[in-house]
Chains A and B, each alone.
Chain A
Amino acid sequence: MVGNGMAGCRTLEELLKLAPDLYEITVFGAEPHPNYNRIMLSPVLAGETKFDDIVLNDLAWYRDNGIALHAGKQVTKIDRKARKVIAVDGTEAAYDRLLLATGSSPFILPVPGKDLPGVIAYRDIADTEAMIEAAKHHEHAVVIGAGLLGLEAANGLKLRGMDVTVVHLADWIMERQLDKTAADLLQKSLENKGLKFLLGKQTSELVAGESGRVAAIRFKDGTGIPADLVVMAVGIRPNTALAESAGIHCERGIVVDDTLQTYDPKVYAVGECVAHRGVAYGLVAPLFEQAKVCANHLAQMGIGRYVGSVTSTKLKVTGIDVFSAGDFMGGEGTEDIVLADPSAGIYKRLVIQGDRLAGAVLYGDTGDGAWYFQLLKDKQNIADIRDHLMFGSHHVGDVGHAGQNKAAALPDEAEVCGCNGVCKGTIVKAIKEHGLFTIDAVRKHTKASSSCGSCTGLVEQILASTVGGAYQPADTNEKPVCGCTDHSHGVVRAAIRDRKLLSIPAVMQALDWKTPNGCASCRPALNYYLISSWPHEAQDDPQSRFINERAHANIQKDGTFSVVPRMWGGLTTPTELRTIADVAEKYQVPTVKMTGGARIDLLGIKKGDLPKVWEDLGRAGLVSGHAYGKSIRTVKTCVGAEHCRFGTQLSMSMGVKLEKMLFGMWAPHKVKLAVSGCPRNCAEAGIKDIGVIGVDSGYELYIAGNGGIKTEVAMFMCKVKSDAEVLEYSGSFLQLYREEAWYLERTCHYVARVGLDYVKKIVVEDAARRKELYERLLYSLQGYEDPWATAVKQPKEYVALEVA
């Protein structure tokens, strides 16, 4: 590999994961350092971090992976005929495959004086050190170019005590990333930090002083200012000279196809040096996407194409929040939604094309940047949420982090992840020290956002503000199921359905799973997809179910289990209650309580006692309440017209009918229903997956509510007249959800993804499809037996072995 930077090393990392022994790897790097995190140079300059902290792959990494590293040796020649590269000192290395990752160079303005001492670019750690050194001895700094890099350099130099002027050719700063309004706001706040700006100025000459060092800068209009240090930050040029000299086709960069292959099939290229579909990227995130695809092809797996990237920008200047992504300037066929609050220093502009978000510029409050970027990347239909799109993704209902929704405003010691007790400072430190770029990596290293997930948005914000434009959220719709495969949930599901795969080994074989038995993430998902796609045919594999579903009870922190008998519609009888009381005494159940779903929970039962408990309960007709499953949980009811003076419908009887119909229904996630007999809604139907509300003329059906991590109010789907229709419409919606939602997606997430209109078109407007769905649901539930009764017959799995 030629080039020892971030894109190249990431490719090697991906390659080593896929095929650790396929190649003997040799790396040449022009800089005398191992691979470091170039995007963290600004914090180094600003004095917020040190070089040692931004090294991504230390020398031990090269050694441990058997990589021969030639640091500080620039490659000067590629001999494609002999298939070898030659470095400046004569070192040679032969190749079967060559990876070019030569990066880019700063563009130096061709003006007189450009070679004077004190005139530098801003590209690597040497430049950074030169700036730090200059700041110690000199006063006047001029940064040419007010792009991302230029502003970060200017900010750093200012913090190092220099008097800094930013010179820019265009009429506003960061004109490639910001519109004028946002740019003006940014300029103002940078001016408040002490930076000076000269806009619309073209540099004509750099003038030397008596010492021979640069002393002043002159402009085309004849004016000039003193300058002891000039930093050129006017853009980058892909480094193509080496490739060109070897006769490899180059345009703006080294031309590559969607597999990152150059015109020489033995030569691949990634990173800032390439031109892919005419675009050369200068941000880290696209390079990582390229690295993944390139590594896959180098590993001879041949899967995956790189089709270009949507990029986002975030300025890493402490205390200033600016974000942009996509087509933020807009134009013909686009509309703007703009929010401007000048005195609060907030400006937000969303560019919308049709039903999609096309671009976003945020200033002052970038908390929702990651969310907008995700909407952009996923090309999600925003018609349903257009009216509140501007106000971000946050709901009053988010719990677990003291109501905080703005990561930037949080102090380091603020607890971000309430499940695992992870503070913001810990997350930031892990991101910097381990060079993390994805939410998954942050989860792995810190555990933040790895349990209930309610803080995911916050952690994404922290990630985005720490790594800036390098942050790249995965395409939700195309995200692989887990590390065991490159296929998304949608692809896996379709394969199971279309190719009639009936067992987990069959799926893994058909879809080239990378691990022999999958993992704790993919196996439960596959098992669900199998049994929901092919009821009565596919093999249900207990070993691929989470312990709760395997044992038909909920595991507790001390390893005991809890047992929740089903009470249809929440109704019970004295006999049932007596039986439950007897069981609680007989097995010395330490805690008896009501569940959130209004059922009785017996907590603290030893696993070995479970079959005996179920046998006793079963004698009174009590069956599994499935309080442990990704399945139908409960149908909550109010008293309804049976007793209540306000009741308009028989809500208890309706609830019982629904719960009996859905008994044994496995689903992508848990499913809860409620039936209220009148709009007073005592059964709290507004936060259920399906909420049924009785009115005088029939029932209103609400769907996709949620009372959990994210309080989500159910949305009105339709109104129906009869009990039979309630069953048919509810069943049909649930079957649609069962067939289309990704595993672990609640109805609220599923409907947010596909849109309420989509659901209505099928379930409400298309009678034929509604009936088909309903029939498929009933078919898959046919003949379902109480799992407790089954376990009572075969108690062996519950009993421990003994050894003396």
Chain B
Amino acid sequence: MNDWKKLCALDEIPRLGSRVVKSPKGNIAVFRTAEDEIFALHDRCPHKGGPLSQGLVAGKVVTCPMHSWKIQLESGAAVAPDIGCAKSFAVKLEAGTVWIAL
């Protein structure tokens, strides 16, 4: 994979929060955990399409603001007993800069 694209500085994403990224593949939610890990998911809840970027982040899970489905940041999979998956994108953090591969 050599199509890494520079996104933003880490500081531009709030800790335990997220930013929306407009991309050719639709809106992507980029999350930052308490430990400064970065994850990116398609900004659509597998339940009814709610914007995951607007959810509340805890641990490595985001709770969708629409109907409180919990989505795992690493895989995009819903936490049981709900079933569904949001597409995830590769991201990396290098020297305080966030990169994404579409």
Contact of B34 among A445, A516, A542, A559 (CB under 8 A): A516
B21 contacts A802, C-beta separation under 8 Å: yes
On whether A523 and B56 interact (CB within 8 A), knowing A517-B16, A559-B51, A801-B19, the answer reads: yes
- Chain B interface, number of residues (Cβ within 8 angstroms): 38
**Inter-subunit contact A543/B81 (CB<8 Å):** no
A518 touches B (CB below 8 Å): yes
Chain A nearest CB, measured from B83 CB (Å): 12
Write the B64-84 contact mask toward A (1 if CB under 8 angstroms, else 0): 011110100000000001000
Interface residues on A, range: 20 to 34
Give the one of A517, A519, A796 with max B CB within 10 A: A517
Residue of B nearest to A518 (CB): B58
Please tell me if the beta carbons of A547 and B54 are within 8 angstroms of each other in the complex. Answer: yes
Partner of A517, one of B8, B58, B81: B58
- Complex CA–CA separation, A78 to B55 (angstroms): 53
CB pair A803–B5 under 8 Å, yes or no, is yes
Could you say which of A445, A515, A607, A802 contacts B81, with CB atoms under 8 Å apart?
Answer: A445
Q: Which residues of B contact A802 (CB under 8 A)?
A: 21-23
Distance from B32 Cβ to chain A, minimum over Cβ atoms (Å): 10
Would A803 and B56 be within 8 Å (CB), given that A519-B63, A555-B65 are in contact? Answer: no
Report the nearest A residue to B63, measured CB to CB. Answer: A520
Residues of chain B within 8 A of A523, CB atoms compared: 56, 58
Q: Which residue of B27, B50, B55, B58 contacts A515 across the interface (Cβ within 8 Å)?
A: B58
The residue of chain B having its C-beta at the shortest distance from the C-beta of A504 within the complex is B16
Chain A residue at minimum C-beta to C-beta distance from B34: A517
Given contacts A520-B55, A520-B63, A559-B50, contact A543 B16 (CB under 8 A): yes
Min CB gap B43→A, angstroms: 8
Contacts of B90 in A (CB 8 A): none
**CB proximity to B under 8 Å, residues A441-459:** 444-445, 447, 450-451
**B8: nearest residue on chain A (CB-CB)?**
A801
A340 CB → nearest B CB, Å: 44
Interface status of B86 (Cβ within 8 A of chain A): no
Contact A444 B21 (CB under 8 A): no
Q: Which residues of A contact B58 (CB under 8 A)?
A: 515-520, 523
- A704 shortest CB reach to chain B, Å: 27
Tell me if B10 counts as interface (CB < 8 A to partner A).
Answer: no
B interface footprint on A542-571 (CB within 8 Å = 1, 0 otherwise): 111011000100010101000000000000
B residues less than 8 Å from A547 (CB atoms): 54-56, 65
Interchain CB contact under 8 A, A451 and B67: yes
Q: Answer whether residue B14 sits at the interface, using C-beta atoms and an 8 A cutoff.
A: yes
B15 proximal to A (CB < 8 A) = yes
In the complex, the answer to whether B5 meets A800 with C-beta atoms within 8 Å is: no
- The answer to whether A803 and B50 touch across the interface, beta carbons within 8 angstroms, is no
User: With A and B bound together, what is the CA distance between A547 and B50 in angstroms?
Assistant: 12
Chain B residues lying within 8 Å of A551, measured Cβ to Cβ, are 54
Q: How far is the CB of A419 from chain B (nearest CB, A)?
A: 9
Interfacial residues of chain B within 1-50, with CB under 8 A of chain A in the complex: 5, 7-8, 12, 14-17, 19-24, 27-28, 30, 33-34, 48, 50
CA distance A42 to B28 in the complex (A): 53
Contact A516 B22 (CB under 8 A): no
Tell yes or no: B96 within 8 A of A by CB. no
Contact B21–A543 (Cβ < 8 Å): no
Minimal beta-carbon separation of A351 from chain B (angstroms): 40
Give the docked Cα–Cα distance between A523 and B34 (Å).
14
Complex interface: chain A residues within 8 A of B81 (CB): 444-445
User: Is there contact, CB below 8 Å, between A803 and B54?
Assistant: no
- What B residues does A445 contact at CB under 8 A? 81
Q: Are A803 and B102 in contact (CB under 8 A)?
A: yes
Q: Which residues of B contact A559 (CB under 8 A)?
A: 50-51, 54
A797 located at the interface, meaning its Cβ lies under 8 Å from any Cβ of chain B in the complex: yes
Question: Can you list 25 A-B contacts with CB-CB less than 8 angstroms, sorted by A residue number?
Answer: A451-B67, A515-B58, A516-B58, A517-B33, A520-B55, A520-B68, A520-B70, A542-B14, A544-B16, A547-B55, A547-B56, A547-B65, A557-B48, A557-B50, A559-B51, A559-B54, A796-B12, A800-B20, A801-B8, A801-B12, A801-B30, A802-B23, A803-B22, A803-B100, A804-B24
Interface residues of B (CB under 8 A from A): 5, 7-8, 12, 14-17, 19-24, 27-28, 30, 33-34, 48, 50-51, 54-59, 61, 63, 65-68, 70, 81, 100, 102
20 extra A-B contacts, CB within 8 A, seeds A546-B65, A804-B5, A804-B24: A447-B67, A515-B59, A516-B59, A519-B58, A520-B68, A524-B56, A542-B14, A543-B14, A543-B15, A543-B17, A547-B56, A555-B66, A557-B66, A559-B50, A796-B12, A797-B14, A801-B12, A801-B19, A802-B22, A803-B100
Query: Nearest 5 pairs between A and B by C-beta?
Result: A520-B63, A547-B54, A559-B51, A800-B20, A543-B16
